């Protein structure tokens, strides 16, 4: 087998992506303080801590129920900053467009970027535009970078989960991935599954009022809830057990997943946050999250069971069985029969 | 009633678990039941079914994943065809990552081959309609479940007068290998969890020979955890009572006769042939090839390509795993050289494969 080629799986956010980063990208670019496996780097200048992040968006389709590539690009970067407990301030936008891309569609995308940034109180302050010949890119790719300020001294990160902690989520899982897939594949689902694309910085501000009870904030995007929690378990060297019965699902998403043979635990989200917090604060935190518009369906979905170097993630299934949960490997593909 | 939550209900599932435990105490010897459908394999792992069964009741995974049982030679041929000019390969997603002797369709796609994932062979026909100057080859793998849709796609192409749609067929039928495995003294299969989707097409009657002549209990079983647990309970009951018959746990979907319309489409477009199964070898009469009347749609006949010499992967135990002789954990490559990111054997590639299920849910 040939290992000289970059495959689509290297961009899936799962294990292949991790390998590419740790084997090639990070060692070659060393000298840059890595963000670890966190969503953004935290840098300190003159005693002030900042979070800094960048992300590129190459989604197909560009427009899907509940959003488009524009609000995705703005909210995604805002959320990466918010997950570090930062208050997002400024953003840049880089557009790479294919010759022949529709001006009207560009306008719609830009409008939605502006609305998302305004809604989250973030200023788009710089940018860049490139056009490549037809066929050299797929209509439009967007890169956004963002910087935010960290105005507290809480230690929040993927390696801060502790035995006894509770795991919370702010609502139903899998909506974004299924909405995009349904649109992309032309699945006529006759359901109103919409992307959950949203900026989470307001909800994070609310969550941070629980102070040092908050240990980990993560948005389970590519690879879904399972991959994100597995990363947290490995980084913190703890075991985590989920209660499948407690996981909030939108019924239509569950149905589509059952038909296609997909596991909603691995489906991408764009407006969800996983919080790992001290047990004594869990109920108060749940109330706090439910009081925010983006956390109405928040739930406590599991707990950190103990120290575990192998980062074991388990789920007690709805049916009473127990199984291990691993990271997403490659792409989730619908089953054959 | 949404036909999902009811069949995942903890109390119902645990109720069956208790009954299975009680029944199995009446028989000192252990029991082993085989499932021969990839979706059952996934369901058993996903819902932690094994953790609910007593020690004396073992579930073994058989050759139930359409991708896994497809031999290297077929993959190599598909790869050779993908390298032809003006050719679009259309396939169900899982086939993309199966390693052939020296490459995979995913690697070929990265090198520039036009390989597209479709959800139905009719989508492939639509691609052929849109691309009249190219040939569109659909990779027809699978059991009796997918074969009727592929037969229908050939009929649709005939109706449209499409000359650029081809199928590379490697369809298989499941009852014969089940009979073969049931007579394997090493395996000692006490009963079959019969496939649900396949049975919807061929009918529960298809397993009568297995149960009534060979004395192997058969239960056609659904996919939800309560279905699987009830299916196992029915099998344990048959074994304990010394019975051997076909029962239909999945009567909300499966009939005794099956889907007659699908069966007639199959008979029209395909004819029975010998088929090579990965790990098992050639089983006479267990395959479906495109019938002579439709030879113009048969990629193997229409597109002569030179296919590289087949190489099997050193140390890979997929064959033994497909026969239920070893579990993934007995394979020296499992979770070492063979992982879902860099699969060595087909059982690790397919989302329905035994090794992929064990890797994802069972470690």
Q: What is the mean pLDDT of residues A27-45?
A: 76
Is the model's pLDDT at A308 over the cut of 60?
A: yes
Number of independent structural domains in chain B: 3
Residue A185 backbone dihedrals phi, psi, to 5 degrees: -90, 0
| Nearest CA-CA partner of B125 in B94, B92, B158, B95 | B158
The tokens describing B313, both together, are: 């992967």
Count other C-beta atoms under 10 Å from residue B330's C-beta: 11
CB B349, CB B328: distance < 8 Å? no
Confidence of residue B6 (pLDDT cuts 50, 70, 90): confident
- Average the pLDDT over each of A263-267, B15-19, B78-82, B251-255 and give the range with the smallest value: A263-267
Measured between alpha carbons, how far is B317 from B308 in angstroms, rounded to an integer? 22
| Nearest CA-CA partner of A233 in A180, A288, A312 | A312
Q: Suggest the residue from B340, B353, B354, B358 to mutate for an interface test with chain A (most A CBs closer than 10 A).
A: B340
| Nearest CA-CA partner of A2 in B348, B356, B333, B109 | B109
Which residues in chain B have their CB less than 8 angstroms from residue A325's CB? 360-361
The tokens describing A164, both together, are: 């006894």
Q: List the beta bridge partners of residue A169.
A: A274, A299
Is the model's pLDDT at A1 over the cut of 50?
A: no
Q: Do B168 and B272 share a domain, yes or no?
A: yes
Q: What is the mean pLDDT of residues A256-276?
A: 91
Average pLDDT, chain B: 93
pLDDT tens figures, A143-156: 999 999 999 999 99
CB A1, CB A317: distance < 8 Å? no
The tokens describing A78, both together, are: 């805002």
DSSP A201-266: HHHHHHHGGGGGGEEEEE---TTHHHHHHHHHHHHHTEEEEEEGGG----HHHHHHHHHHT--GGG
Residue B254 lies inside a defined structural domain of this protein: no
Select the CATH number that applies to the domain covering A165-324 from these four: 2.60.40.1180, 3.90.1580.10, 3.30.559.10, 3.90.650.10: 3.90.650.10
Taking 3-state DSSP, the helix, strand and coil percentages for chain A, each rounded to the nearest 5, stand at: 35, 25, 40
Quick check: helix, strand or coil at residue A4?
Answer: coil
Is the model's pLDDT at A260 over the cut of 90?
A: no
CB B283, CB B274: distance < 8 Å? yes
DSSP structure class, residue B30: -
Is the model's pLDDT at A179 over the cut of 70?
A: yes
pLDDT score at A183:
83
Q: Do B116 and B226 share a domain, yes or no?
A: no
Query: Own/partner pairs for A58-62, CB < 8 Å, 24+ apart?
Result: A58/A138, A58/A141, A59/A180, A60/A138, A60/A184, A61/A180, A61/A183, A61/A184, A62/A105, A62/A109, A62/A139, A62/A140
Q: Does the CB of A310 have a partner CB in chain B at under 8 Å? A: no
Which residues in chain A have their CB less than 8 angstroms from residue B226's CB? 319
Q: Is B351–A332 a contact, with Cβ atoms under 8 angstroms apart?
A: yes
For tokens 């010949």, the residue is: A133
Is the model's pLDDT at B114 over the cut of 60?
A: yes
Q: Suggest the residue from B46, B112, B171 to mutate for an interface test with chain A (most A CBs closer than 10 A).
A: B46
Q: Does the CB of A163 have a partner CB in chain B at under 8 Å? A: no
pLDDT score at A256:
87
**Burial A118-152, CB ≥16 within 10 A → b, else e:** ebbebebeeeeeeeeeeeebebbbbbbbbbbebee
Closest CB to A317: pick one of B38, B48, B145.
B48
The tokens describing B305, both together, are: 């390509």
Measured between alpha carbons, how far is A46 from A164 in angstroms, rounded to an integer? 36
Q: Do B287 and B197 share a domain, yes or no?
A: no
Closest CB to B48: pick one of A322, A330, A334.
A322
Q: Do B41 and B76 share a domain, yes or no?
A: no
Q: Do B161 and B193 share a domain, yes or no?
A: no
Which residues in chain B have their CB less than 8 angstroms from residue A8's CB? 106, 110
Q: How far off is chain A from B13, nearest CA to CA, in Å?
A: 6
Q: Is B341–A330 a contact, with Cβ atoms under 8 angstroms apart?
A: yes
Measured between alpha carbons, how far is B37 from B198 in angstroms, rounded to an integer? 9
Domain ranges of chain A: 8-150, 165-324
Which residues in chain A have their CB less than 8 angstroms from residue B5's CB? 318
Confidence of residue A331 (pLDDT cuts 50, 70, 90): low
Quick check: helix, strand or coil at residue A300?
Answer: strand
**CATH (domain of B138):** 3.40.50.11740
Measured between alpha carbons, how far is B167 from B299 in angstroms, rounded to an integer? 5
Q: Do B331 and B191 share a domain, yes or no?
A: no
- Average the pLDDT over each of A227-241, B300-314, B332-346 and give the range with the smallest value: B332-346
Q: Is A2–B359 a contact, with Cβ atoms under 8 angstroms apart?
A: no
Q: Does the CB of A254 have a partner CB in chain B at under 8 Å? A: yes
Q: What is the mean pLDDT of residues B265-286?
A: 94
Name the pairing type of β-strands A48-57 and A41-45. Answer: antiparallel
Q: What is the mean pLDDT of residues B179-197?
A: 93
Quick check: helix, strand or coil at residue A13?
Answer: coil
pLDDT score at B4:
75
Q: Is A323–B341 a contact, with Cβ atoms under 8 angstroms apart?
A: no
Q: Does the CB of B231 have a partner CB in chain A at under 8 Å? A: no
Count other C-beta atoms under 10 Å from residue A98's C-beta: 16
DSSP structure class, residue A272: -
Q: How far off is chain A from B301, nearest CA to CA, in Å?
A: 25
pLDDT score at A337:
55
**CATH (domain of B188):** 3.40.50.11750
pLDDT tens figures, A44-66: 999 999 999 999 999 889 999 99
- Average the pLDDT over each of A297-301, A318-322, B179-183, B226-230 and give the range with the smallest value: A318-322
Closest chain B residue by Cα to residue A254: B4
B230: left (phi over 0), alpha (psi -120 to 50) or beta: alpha
Q: Name B267's Cβ contacts closer than 8 Å, sequence gap at least 6.
A: none
Residues 73-132 of B with CB under 8 A from A: 92-94, 96-97, 99, 102-104, 106-107, 110-111, 117, 119
Closest chain A residue by Cα to residue B225: A319
Q: Do B240 and B289 share a domain, yes or no?
A: no
Closest chain B residue by Cα to residue A12: B341
Residue B1 lies inside a defined structural domain of this protein: no
More confidently predicted of B52 and A184: B52
pLDDT score at A184:
77
- Helix H or strand E segment including B147: helix B147-160
Q: Does the CB of A330 have a partner CB in chain B at under 8 Å? A: yes
Q: Do B222 and B83 share a domain, yes or no?
A: no
Q: Is B94–A254 a contact, with Cβ atoms under 8 angstroms apart?
A: no
Which residues in chain A have their CB less than 8 angstroms from residue B130's CB? none
Query: What percent of chain B has a predicted confidence (pLDDT) above 90?
Result: 73
Measured between alpha carbons, how far is B106 from B113 in angstroms, rounded to an integer? 9
Q: How far off is chain A from B353, nearest CA to CA, in Å?
A: 10
pLDDT tens figures, A88-144: 999 999 999 999 999 999 999 999 999 999 999 999 999 999 999 999 999 999 999
Residue B13 lies inside a defined structural domain of this protein: yes
A308: left (phi over 0), alpha (psi -120 to 50) or beta: beta
Q: Does the CB of A152 have a partner CB in chain B at under 8 Å? A: no
Average pLDDT, chain A: 91
Q: Is A319–B47 a contact, with Cβ atoms under 8 angstroms apart?
A: yes
pLDDT score at A333:
66
Measured between alpha carbons, how far is A189 from B186 in angstroms, rounded to an integer? 47
Is the model's pLDDT at A245 over the cut of 70?
A: yes
Measured between alpha carbons, how far is B333 from A286 in angstroms, rounded to an integer? 45
Measured between alpha carbons, how far is B144 from B174 in angstroms, rounded to an integer? 8
Which residues in chain A have their CB less than 8 angstroms from residue B50's CB? 321
Confidence of residue A37 (pLDDT cuts 50, 70, 90): low
No. of helices (H) and no. of strands (E), chain B: 15, 11
Which residues in chain B have their CB less than 8 angstroms from residue A14's CB? 341
The tokens describing B357, both together, are: 């299920």
CB B59, CB B20: distance < 8 Å? no
Quick check: helix, strand or coil at residue A28?
Answer: helix
Measured between alpha carbons, how far is B283 from B332 in angstroms, rounded to an integer? 27
CB B356, CB B331: distance < 8 Å? no
Q: How far off is chain A from B125, nearest CA to CA, in Å?
A: 15
Domain that holds residue B157: 72-173+264-302
Q: Is A336–B67 a contact, with Cβ atoms under 8 angstroms apart?
A: yes
Which residues in chain B have their CB less than 8 angstroms from residue A254's CB? 4
pLDDT score at B331:
93
Closest chain A residue by Cα to residue B64: A337
Q: What is the mean pLDDT of residues A206-234?
A: 94
Closest chain A residue by Cα to residue B359: A326
Which residues in chain B have their CB less than 8 angstroms from residue A321's CB? 13, 47-52, 225
Q: Does the CB of A6 have a partner CB in chain B at under 8 Å? A: yes
Q: Do B89 and B235 share a domain, yes or no?
A: no
Confidence of residue B147 (pLDDT cuts 50, 70, 90): very high
Burial label for B353, CB within 10 Å (0-12, 13-18, 19+), is buried
C-alpha B360, offset from chain centre: 18
Q: Is B119–A334 a contact, with Cβ atoms under 8 angstroms apart?
A: yes
Q: Is A1–B42 a contact, with Cβ atoms under 8 angstroms apart?
A: no
Q: What is the mean pLDDT of residues B101-127?
A: 92
Q: Does the CB of A223 have a partner CB in chain B at under 8 Å? A: no
Confidence of residue A181 (pLDDT cuts 50, 70, 90): confident
Q: Name B235's Cβ contacts closer than 8 Å, sequence gap at least 6.
A: B31, B33, B190, B191, B192, B193, B217, B219
Q: The pTM is what?
A: 0.82
pLDDT tens figures, B36-47: 998 999 899 888
Q: Do B84 and B136 share a domain, yes or no?
A: yes
Measured between alpha carbons, how far is B225 from B222 in angstroms, rounded to an integer? 8
Residue B311 lies inside a defined structural domain of this protein: no
**Torsion sign over Cα B137, B140, B146, B147:** positive
Measured between alpha carbons, how far is A166 from A210 in angstroms, rounded to an integer? 14
Closest CB to B352: pick one of A7, A320, A336.
A336
**Torsion sign over Cα B85, B86, B92, B96:** positive
Confidence of residue A85 (pLDDT cuts 50, 70, 90): very high
Q: Is A320–B342 a contact, with Cβ atoms under 8 angstroms apart?
A: no
Closest CB to B52: pick one of A2, A315, A321.
A321
Please state which architecture CATH assigns to domain A8-150.
2-Layer Sandwich (3.30)
Quick check: helix, strand or coil at residue A132?
Answer: strand
What is the number of CB-based contacts under 8 A between chain A and chain B? 136
pLDDT score at B42:
87
Q: Is A319–B339 a contact, with Cβ atoms under 8 angstroms apart?
A: no
Residue B185 lies inside a defined structural domain of this protein: yes
Residues 169-208 of B with CB under 8 A from A: 197-198
Q: Do B184 and B161 share a domain, yes or no?
A: no
Q: Does the CB of A125 have a partner CB in chain B at under 8 Å? A: no
């Amino acid at each position: 087998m040939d290992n000289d080629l970059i495959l689509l799986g290297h961009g899936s956010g799962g294990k292949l992506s991790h390998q590419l980063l740790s084997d090639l990208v990070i060692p070659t670019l060393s000298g840059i303080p890595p963000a670890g496996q966190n969503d953004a780097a935290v840098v300190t200048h003159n005693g002030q801590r900042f979070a800094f992040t960048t992300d590129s968006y190459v989604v197909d389709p560009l427009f899907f129920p509940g959003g488009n590539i524009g609000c995705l690009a703005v909210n995604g970067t805002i959320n990466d900053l918010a997950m570090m407990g930062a208050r997002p301030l400024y953003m840049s936008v880089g557009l790479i467009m294919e010759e022949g891309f529709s001006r009207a569609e560009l306008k719609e995308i830009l409008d939605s970027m502006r609305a998302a940034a305004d809604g989250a109180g973030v200023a788009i302050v710089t940018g860049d535009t490139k056009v490549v010949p037809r066929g050299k890119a797929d209509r439009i790719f967007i890169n956004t970078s963002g910087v935010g300020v960290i105005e507290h001294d809480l230690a929040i990160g993927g390696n801060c989960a502790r035995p006894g902690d509770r795991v919370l989520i702010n609502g139903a899982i899998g909506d974004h991935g299924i909405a995009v897939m349904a649109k992309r594949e032309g699945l006529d689902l006759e359901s109103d599954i919409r992307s959950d694309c949203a900026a989470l910085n307001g909800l994070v501000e609310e969550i941070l009022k629980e102070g040092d009870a908050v240990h980990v904030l993560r948005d389970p995007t590519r690879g879904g809830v399972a991959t994100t929690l597995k990363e947290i378990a490995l980084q913190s060297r703890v075991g985590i057990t989920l209660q499948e019965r407690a996981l909030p699902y939108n019924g239509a998403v569950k149905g589509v997943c059952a038909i296609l043979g997909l596991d909603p635990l691995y489906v991408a989200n764009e407006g969800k946050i996983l919080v790992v917090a001290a047990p004594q604060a869990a109920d108060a935190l749940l109330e706090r999250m439910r009081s925010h518009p983006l956390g109405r369906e928040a739930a406590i979905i599991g707990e950190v069971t103990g120290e575990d170097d192998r980062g074991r993630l388990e789920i007690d299934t709805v049916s009473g069985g127990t199984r291990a949960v691993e990271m997403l490997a490659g792409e989730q593909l619908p089953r054959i029969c | 009633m949404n036909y999902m939550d009811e069949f995942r209900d903890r109390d119902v599932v645990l109720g069956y678990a208790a009954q299975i435990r009680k029944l199995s105490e009446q028989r000192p010897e252990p029991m082993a039941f085989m499932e021969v459908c990839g979706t059952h394999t996934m369901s058993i792992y996903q819902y932690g079914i094994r953790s609910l069964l007593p020690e004396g009741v073992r579930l073994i995974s058989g050759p139930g994943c359409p991708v896994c049982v497809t031999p290297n030679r077929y993959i190599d041929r598909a790869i050779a065809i993908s390298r032809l000019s003006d050719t679009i390969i259309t396939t169900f997603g899982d086939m993309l990552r199966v390693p052939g002797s020296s490459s995979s369709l995913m690697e070929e796609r990265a090198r520039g081959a036009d390989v597209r994932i479709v959800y139905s062979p009719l989508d492939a026909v639509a691609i052929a309609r849109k691309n009249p100057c190219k040939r569109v080859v659909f990779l027809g793998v699978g059991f009796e479940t997918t074969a009727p849709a592929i037969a229908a796609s050939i009929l649709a192409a005939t109706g449209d007068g499409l000359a650029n749609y081809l199928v590379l067929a490697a369809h298989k039928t499941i009852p014969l290998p089940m009979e073969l495995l049931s007579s394997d003294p090493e395996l000692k299969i006490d009963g079959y969890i019969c496939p649900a989707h396949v049975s919807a097409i061929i009918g529960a009657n298809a397993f009568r020979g297995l149960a009534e002549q060979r004395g192997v209990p058969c239960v056609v079983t659904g996919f939800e955890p309560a279905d699987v647990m009830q299916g196992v309970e029915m099998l344990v009951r048959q074994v304990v009572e010394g019975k051997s018959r076909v029962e239909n746990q999945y009567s909300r979907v499966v009939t005794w006769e099956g889907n007659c319309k699908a069966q007639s489409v199959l008979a029209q477009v395909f004819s029975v042939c010998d088929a090579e199964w990965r790990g098992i070898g050639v089983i006479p009469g267990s395959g479906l090839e495109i019938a002579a009347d439709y030879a113009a749609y048969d990629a193997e006949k229409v597109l002569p390509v030179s296919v590289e010499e087949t190489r099997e992967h050193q140390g890979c135990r997929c064959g033994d795993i497909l026969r239920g002789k070893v579990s993934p954990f007995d394979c020296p490559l499992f979770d070492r050289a063979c992982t879902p990111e860099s699969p060595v054997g087909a059982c690790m590639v397919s989302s329905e494969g035994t090794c992929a299920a064990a890797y994802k849910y069972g470690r």
